[in-house]
Homo-oligomer: A and B are copies of this chain.
């Protein structure tokens, strides 16, 4: 019963996401890299790892490697999915510059609930379908933005 609470703070979500991304190739994440990714001190990372371990989302021992638990992977994947849906909407449909879309997704991903993300994903699918069916929505919107 180590798990203190189920809801993650925006900050802890960021850590989890960073670990997920860092571990995507090597399977493990190093403290130092997490710190660099999030522009945070190593001491802050240690603190976050303890909190995440407490919630049973990471396997962590002082001076040891960090890996995600099963639950950690699931949670992280959800966050990453949110991020990608958002970014895709902002960049591909609204036509916002990649870098800005990326940044915006990073922040908003913590605030938007499942209803919004689901609908957004559905909307992306819809637009894709419309584009395929000859009604070039994205193109039209782009034109609309350019004039005036």
Residues of A within 8 A of B (CB): 90, 93-97, 100, 103-104, 107-108, 110-113, 115-116, 119-120, 122-123, 125-126, 129-130, 135, 137, 140-141, 144-145
Instruction: Quote the shortest CB–CB distance from A139 to chain B (angstroms).
Output: 12
Q: List 16 A-B contacts (CB under 8 A).
A: A90-B116, A94-B123, A96-B116, A96-B119, A97-B115, A100-B113, A104-B115, A107-B112, A108-B111, A110-B111, A122-B141, A122-B145, A126-B144, A130-B140, A135-B135, A137-B137
Instruction: Quote the shortest CB–CB distance from A28 to chain B (angstroms).
Output: 31
Query: In the complex, given contacts A95-B119, A96-B115, A125-B144, what are 6 additional A-B residue pairs having Cβ atoms less than 8 angstroms apart?
Result: A94-B119, A103-B113, A108-B108, A108-B111, A122-B144, A122-B145
